[in-house]
Amino acid sequence: MIAMVLAAVGGPLVAEERPDPEPGPGEVRIRVEACAVCRTDLHVIDGELPQAVYPIVPGHEVVGIVEAAGAGVASPLPGARVGVPWLGHACGRCGYCATGRENLCDAPGFTGCTRDGGFASHLVAEAAFTIPLGPTLDPVATAPLLCAGLIGWRTLRMAGEAGTVGLYGFGAAAHIVAQVCRWQGRRVFAFTRPGDREAQAFARTLGAEWAGDSDGPPPEPLDGALIFAPDGRLVPAALRAVRKGGRVVCGGIHMSDIPAFSYDLLWGERAVLSVANLTREDARSFFATVPQAGIVTRTRTFPLTQANAAIAAHRCGVLQGAAVLVP
């Protein structure tokens, strides 16, 4: 197998030839068909996640075919197409797992962060934490749904019944969430990097009623705001944009420091929430929604060995949609 390995914080990733991994009890070996690049991968590379281990093979938006199953695995069986998301393990015993909140597990494992991920031709995953995918799905188009889609879905659900939704940072997650919002009958307002007219035009093609700079106000108050860009300055900006009772939901795993702001921005029963990881129930409900909502992802493919170029493109914000690595 070939793996793109991050030896230490800062990178770059280096191609390594390794023996094909053998699945242990409860695990499956997967031949990777596609793996999308996520903002979280950049946080792993930059050393911004304290739980990360090194060396590591990043990548947690994986689509592939099961090649071999370890002892005790009844499903998925060899030949099945599956997805491998960020949450790769939960203990099943702590208070969070016992109450359906495995995303907050006290002893979790994360694909591409604490266990090797999908920037490779093969990987091993816990069978119970794979997601069944249909045999006719396009692996490249599906890969971004494994995190950008799932985290976007959970972030939107935490916004409640918001009818007017602001999306801050119009990248891989937002371009999927915008389509869900329009399918649900919500109105979308897109906020991009100041001056990024291309991204604003892209947002309008996906149904945004308005698209503008993130340092300015929307044309009318919002019911909810979803923040996908890792910029803490957007939190007070979003609070200014939402009406009384509005929710601001931070969808990233890492964000720069939030600057001090006056209490009047929070007053009026506004709320600031964060999203942590995802659950398998999120995956079941989201992937049931994808065909109903007619979600179409925008992708740009890169050969696996050009992972560093894909990461650089993602970091610079020059992509519309998601970069996807193909072995």
User: pLDDT-based confidence at 167, cuts 50/70/90?
Assistant: very high
Global pTM reads 0.95
Task: Please indicate, yes or no, whether residues 73 and 219 belong to a single structural domain of this protein.
Answer: no
Per-residue pLDDT at 318 = 80
Per-residue pLDDT at 320 = 86
Task: Please indicate, yes or no, whether residues 69 and 190 belong to a single structural domain of this protein.
Answer: no
pLDDT value at 102 more than 90: yes
Task: Please indicate, yes or no, whether residues 16 and 142 belong to a single structural domain of this protein.
Answer: yes
**Coil, strand or helix: which one is 165?**
strand
User: pLDDT-based confidence at 172, cuts 50/70/90?
Assistant: very high
| Angle separating helix axes 172-184 and 148-158, nearest 10 degrees | 50
Q: What six digits make up the tokens of 312?
A: 């650089």
Q: Is 107 exposed, middle or buried (0-12, 13-18, 19+ CB in 10 A)?
A: exposed
Beta-carbon contacts of residue 308 (< 8 Å; ≥ 6 apart): 11, 12, 13
Task: Please indicate, yes or no, whether residues 259 and 194 belong to a single structural domain of this protein.
Answer: yes
The pLDDT of 152-174, averaged and rounded, is 96
pLDDT digits (tens, 9 = 90+) for 120-140: 999 999 999 999 999 999 999
**Coil, strand or helix: which one is 156?**
helix
**Which domain CATH number covers 142?**
3.90.180.10
pLDDT digits (tens, 9 = 90+) for 205-240: 999 999 999 999 999 999 999 999 999 999 999 999
Task: Please indicate, yes or no, whether residues 206 and 267 belong to a single structural domain of this protein.
Answer: yes
Q: What six digits make up the tokens of 109?
A: 């494992």
Query: 167 pairs with which residues across the strands?
Result: 190, 226
Closest to 300 in 3D by CA, of 212, 180, 171: 171
Task: Please indicate, yes or no, whether residues 159 and 105 belong to a single structural domain of this protein.
Answer: no
Beta-carbon contacts of residue 146 (< 8 Å; ≥ 6 apart): 36, 60, 61, 62, 63, 83, 84, 85, 86, 131
Task: Please indicate, yes or no, whether residues 122 and 239 belong to a single structural domain of this protein.
Answer: no
Per-residue pLDDT at 317 = 79
Task: Please indicate, yes or no, whether residues 19 and 130 belong to a single structural domain of this protein.
Answer: yes
| Residue whose pair of structure tokens reads 């939402």 in the numeric block | 242
Task: Please indicate, yes or no, whether residues 107 and 204 belong to a single structural domain of this protein.
Answer: no
Closest to 152 in 3D by CA, of 43, 245, 61: 61
* Residue where a domain terminates, one of 274, 294, 314: 274
Q: Mean pLDDT, the chain, as a whole number? A: 97
pLDDT digits (tens, 9 = 90+) for 11-69: 899 999 999 999 999 999 999 999 999 999 999 999 999 999 999 999 999 999 999 99
**Which domain CATH number covers 205?**
3.40.50.720
- Separation between Cα atoms, residue 88 and residue 325, nearest integer Å: 20
Beta-carbon contacts of residue 151 (< 8 Å; ≥ 6 apart): 86, 173, 251, 275, 278
The pLDDT of 268-291, averaged and rounded, is 96
Task: Please indicate, yes or no, whether residues 181 and 289 belong to a single structural domain of this protein.
Answer: no
* Four-residue CA torsion sign, 120, 124, 128, 132: positive
Closest to 140 in 3D by CA, of 279, 293, 288, 37: 37
Other CB atoms within a 10 A radius of the CB of residue 245 amount to 13
* Four-residue CA torsion sign, 192, 193, 195, 198: negative
Query: Which residue range(s) make up the domain with 236?
Result: 150-274
Task: Please indicate, yes or no, whether residues 109 and 224 belong to a single structural domain of this protein.
Answer: no
Query: Please, are residues 182 and 208 in contact by the beta-carbon 8 Å criterion?
Result: no
What's phi and psi for 223, nearest 5 deg?
A: -85, -30
Q: What six digits make up the tokens of 138?
A: 């396009």
| Strand pairing class (164-168; 222-227) | parallel
The pLDDT of 243-270, averaged and rounded, is 97
Closest to 4 in 3D by CA, of 35, 27, 29, 28: 35
Give 51's DSSP letter.
T
Q: What six digits make up the tokens of 92?
A: 């099943």
Per-residue pLDDT at 193 = 93
**Coil, strand or helix: which one is 27?**
strand
Task: Please indicate, yes or no, whether residues 206 and 123 belong to a single structural domain of this protein.
Answer: no
For the CA atoms of the chain, what is the radius of gyration?
19
pLDDT value at 319 more than 90: no
Total count of domains within the chain: 2
